[in-house]
Amino acid sequence: MMTDGISPSGPLAPLGAPLTPDQQTALKRLHQATTQLEGVFLQMVMHEMSKSVPKDSLTGKQSSAEETFSGMLDDERAKAIAQTGTLGIAKVLDAQLRSTVLADAAHESHFDVNRELER
């Protein structure tokens, strides 16, 4: 079993057949992408939740610096929650997309998730 949470065996892997290096890389990249997607979803949820919190602080109305810090803190919390995998969104997406990624592992293993997100 791999240490990054991706099991090398699954319903599509032939019994006893190890995954090729391209397939392993493609699954790692899939997991990276689905974890990032879960993080973005959590950021959106936390942003909407923070709208329901009163904007008053001990010294009066919340400053723009406090709002900025709160937003950045929410973003980091969302990333941390996504990395733990406790919600399971990335795990479900990994399972659903596994066969598609393995079918085209040669292409998928060379796909740069971070570069595509910057577009």
pLDDT for residue 3 is more than 50: no
CB-CB contact of 32 with 113 (8 Å): yes
Q: Cα 68 to the chain's mean position, in Å?
A: 23
Residue 14 included in any domain: no
Instruction: For residue 7, tell me if it sits in a domain.
Output: no
Least confident range of 28-32, 95-99, 113-117 = 113-117
pLDDT greater than 80 at residue 114: no
Structural domain includes residue 12: no
- 61 SS3 class: strand
Q: How many folded domains does the chain comprise? A: 1
Give a yes or no: residue 6 inside a domain.
no
Residue-range definition of the domain harbouring residue 42: 22-53+61-117
First to last CA, the chain: 34
